[in-house]
Chain A
């Protein structure tokens, strides 16, 4: 859409400027900050918060490198920039659990995580649970076996959350499963079947 040689240079300059500015505020001791700030103000235009940031994400064991607006959430990075659309956007405000992924093995809401802040961590999405030619993860199979969905929109989040629930040791009985899965809403109210699926998969995951 724009001429790329014109386009590239300013972007990388302002990116470097952004990194330089943040490094200096982080590195100067208190007495140095005011002076450094004044000097910088005279020689450099203020850093541009809209410049894209070079983000490296480890997802399902693979490294992805994307240039992102710093405001991009992990959920939008996955869906819109990396093409992994398994994680769903329900509310975008931490209220429904549809966007649940594992970050360093723990269930996390991708809609309230900045992509830049997820760097250096291992992200697992529903796409990373089973190989295309391999068997399903026991939790995926259990959801199929127990018909634990209707429309399926909440299902990737339910499955990722359920895996976290079992791994955290909070799937000991049905009451515990209901309590510790309460962050995943299901508009189709498949709840009884979801509880049954988690119960089955727990035995297999631990067995």
Chain B
């Protein structure tokens, strides 16, 4: 790990302006980057691997008194960015009213990691691409812009079939983000210019030719919270995660599904895919294909096919197209049978 300056944030807006400013003021050895430290389960891991090298680390866990609470009302769900994954996963109202959110968290990482990791840090976790994590590989456009991509013709079994570019095919690894996508969540951000709110779907960027730029956040931007609007679909929702082992593993394919059914017919379906795409991925065309129809094997398979219509498999990840489709089918069929 490289040396860094450590400090503790005192408030969201002061932290944001300090970090935005330190991006203009070289601190150590010409390195300008600064990172917030929340649970540290992504940041410290990648700093030890020398993949991330911040010159300054600002500890924001001390902001949890203001940005660490959960509020559930009829106007929806508000989650502070410093809420721990375990706290949201075990919250009885989230379990009952927003099961897809609770399940996506319960099925992620381990109990220890969920006790440490925050929701704000969770949505910003970095890819698990082995070439990205191992600095002995020189070609990784995400870690080292312009260096190439070792995964294109390498061992790409984990990699994405949706949203990839010739510059990067790394999978977005998280689970919770899929649930937020499906429920049309929004993100509260405090930046140097003040607070703003954006759709969660506008947080992550496709890799394109700049895979090292993963989000639309500016230097110093601090996520303070996430909001999830209410809707008739939130109760009839679930997260299905398919992986190499039963627990404590990232998704090979996953689906966050929420349904609004009336008389057995779909009024609105929401589908987001994990493990198969470069960003949290909403399958809107598949959702549209289900509108006005009942959920059965045929309609679900149709939607699944549409969801993967644009997929671009590589040598070792072609199985993800079939696996991802079956995941969508099973998730839809299961959601349709949930009690209202």
Using a CB–CB cutoff of 8 Å, the interface residues on chain A facing chain B are 18, 21-23, 25-30, 33-34, 37, 41, 46-47, 49-50, 53, 69-71, 73, 92-94, 97, 100, 106-109, 112-114, 116-117, 161, 164-165, 168, 170, 178-184
- Would you call B55 an interface residue if the criterion is a C-beta within 8 Å of the partner chain's C-beta atoms? yes
- Would you call B40 an interface residue if the criterion is a C-beta within 8 Å of the partner chain's C-beta atoms? yes
The stretch of B22-30, B175-183, B284-292 that contacts the partner chain: B22-30
Decide: A26 and B41 in contact? CB cutoff 8 A. no
The stretch of B8-16, B275-283, B295-303, B314-322 that contacts the partner chain: B8-16
- In this complex, the interface size class of chain B, counting residues with CB under 8 Å from chain A, is 35 or more
Interchain CA distance A28-B13 in the complex, whole Å: 11
Q: Hey, which chain B residues are within 8 Å of A73, CB to CB? A: 44
Decide: B59 and A180 in contact? CB cutoff 8 A. no
Q: Hey, which chain A residues are within 8 Å of B134, CB to CB? A: none
Decide: B5 and A117 in contact? CB cutoff 8 A. no
Decide: A97 and B40 in contact? CB cutoff 8 A. no
Decide: A116 and B18 in contact? CB cutoff 8 A. no
A-B contact pairs, 27 of them (CB 8 A): A25-B18, A27-B14, A28-B18, A30-B21, A30-B192, A37-B25, A46-B28, A50-B3, A70-B3, A70-B4, A70-B6, A73-B44, A94-B112, A107-B111, A108-B116, A112-B41, A114-B40, A114-B59, A116-B59, A117-B6, A117-B40, A161-B112, A164-B112, A164-B115, A182-B110, A182-B111, A183-B109
Which 8 residue pairs of A and B lie closest in terms of their CB atoms, listed nearest first? A183-B110, A22-B7, A182-B247, A49-B3, A30-B17, A182-B248, A25-B18, A33-B21
Decide: B45 and A27 in contact? CB cutoff 8 A. no
What 0/1 pattern do residues 107 to 127 of B give for CB contact below 8 A with A?
Answer: 001111101100000000000
Decide: A22 and B109 in contact? CB cutoff 8 A. no
- Partner among B4, B9, B25 whose Cβ is within 8 Å of the Cβ of A49: B4
- Partner among B24, B45, B61, B112 whose Cβ is within 8 Å of the Cβ of A93: B45
Using a CB–CB cutoff of 8 Å, the interface residues on chain B facing chain A are 1, 3-10, 13-15, 17-18, 21-22, 24-25, 27-28, 37, 39-41, 44-45, 48-49, 55, 59, 61, 86, 90, 109-113, 115-116, 192, 247-248
**Chain B's nearest CB lies how many Å from the CB of A54?**
12
Interchain CA distance A94-B37 in the complex, whole Å: 16
* Nearest B residue (CB) for A23: B7
> What is the predominant secondary structure among interface residues of chain B facing chain A?
mixed
Q: Hey, which chain B residues are within 8 Å of A41, CB to CB? A: 25
Decide: A26 and B247 in contact? CB cutoff 8 A. no
Interchain CA distance A53-B27 in the complex, whole Å: 18
Decide: A26 and B15 in contact? CB cutoff 8 A. yes
> What is the predominant secondary structure among interface residues of chain A facing chain B?
mixed
Q: Hey, which chain B residues are within 8 Å of A53, CB to CB? A: 6
Decide: A112 and B4 in contact? CB cutoff 8 A. no
Decide: B111 and A112 in contact? CB cutoff 8 A. no
Q: Hey, which chain A residues are within 8 Å of B10, CB to CB? A: 26-27
**Chain A's nearest CB lies how many Å from the CB of B110?**
2
Interchain CA distance A22-B18 in the complex, whole Å: 10
- Partner among B17, B24, B48, B115 whose Cβ is within 8 Å of the Cβ of A92: B48
* Nearest B residue (CB) for A37: B25
**Chain B's nearest CB lies how many Å from the CB of A176?**
11
A22-B45 contact in complex given A33-B17, A113-B116, A183-B109, C-beta closer than 8 Å: no
Interchain CA distance A204-B90 in the complex, whole Å: 24
A71-B1 contact in complex given A29-B14, A30-B192, A183-B248, C-beta closer than 8 Å: yes
**Chain B's nearest CB lies how many Å from the CB of A119?**
10
Interchain CA distance A49-B27 in the complex, whole Å: 9
Interchain CA distance A164-B113 in the complex, whole Å: 12
* Nearest B residue (CB) for A100: B112
Decide: A114 and B44 in contact? CB cutoff 8 A. yes
Q: Hey, which chain B residues are within 8 Å of A106, CB to CB? A: 86, 115
A165-B6 contact in complex given A27-B14, A49-B28, A183-B248, C-beta closer than 8 Å: no
Decide: B112 and A107 in contact? CB cutoff 8 A. yes
**Chain B's nearest CB lies how many Å from the CB of A202?**
15
Interchain CA distance A165-B111 in the complex, whole Å: 8
**Chain B's nearest CB lies how many Å from the CB of A84?**
18
Decide: A29 and B17 in contact? CB cutoff 8 A. yes
Q: Hey, which chain A residues are within 8 Å of B40, CB to CB? A: 112-114, 117
Decide: A183 and B113 in contact? CB cutoff 8 A. yes
**Chain A's nearest CB lies how many Å from the CB of B287?**
31
* Nearest A residue (CB) for B110: A183
